[in-house]
A and B are shown apart, each in its own frame.
Chain A
């Protein structure tokens, strides 16, 4: 069964550094998403992407964040200058129409 994959599984970075989180959505899915989950809290929406552009973003998704679909398969989330509060699990999701399928996540630890 096709699944969303994410790399790396765990990323440790120093405050102020740039990180790129990578996702390979399920092929033939049209919509792509990034969510984050701070430890013990609910899943929060960051951004959605459709037809090679951002379709919606939350108030969390400020100028420090960007997304890209550099080729036909990868979908990336970049954080330009990480802060301590960016420490969280970051989930990529994709969907054909309604059902969103989530990847296993990347645990980002900012020290």
Chain B
């Protein structure tokens, strides 16, 4: 019940295209859903996050769409650039403010020039 499922495992997109990564969760007590970007040899960097009281959040080229009834959320990267090539992890956190992050399996995104 603590799991977060992420797909696809890998994604190849042309420069300027839209990258879409999906995640699903089971535990309805999760109330904070961040996305992290990780470059090889580096730590995960917080990209964007959403709470379940909104259905969408946009920051620049990055948008999270959230479907509470379906227990799914997704990351959309508009106008994808080669510099966006990285591994993306979705995550979820319980309502307790000190609680852990539960990560998805990760998506390796490659944006071709």
Residues of chain A having any CB pair with chain B under 8 Å: 4, 30-31, 33, 35, 41-45, 48, 50, 55-56, 58, 91, 93, 97-105
Contacts and interface: CB of A to CB of B under 8 A. Distances in A.
A104 B32 CA distance: 23
A105 B103 contact: no
Nearest to A100: B101
Contact of A56 (B97, B100, B104): B100
Given A42-B103, A44-B103, A55 B98 contact: yes
B61 interface: no
Nearest to B104: A42
A104 B43 contact: yes
A105 B100 contact: no
A100 B92 CA distance: 11
Given A42-B89, A42-B105, A43-B89, A101 B100 contact: no
Given A42-B104, A42-B105, A43-B89, A50 B46 contact: no
Contacts of A99: 34, 46, 49
Contacts of A42: 89, 103-106
Contacts of A33: 100-101
A102 B44 contact: yes
Contacts of B99: 48, 56
B19 interface: no
B43 A105 contact: yes
Interface string B80-113: 0000000001000100011111111110000000
Contacts of A55: 98
A58 B89 CA distance: 20
B102 A45 contact: yes
A17 to B, nearest CB: 24
Contacts of A31: 97-98
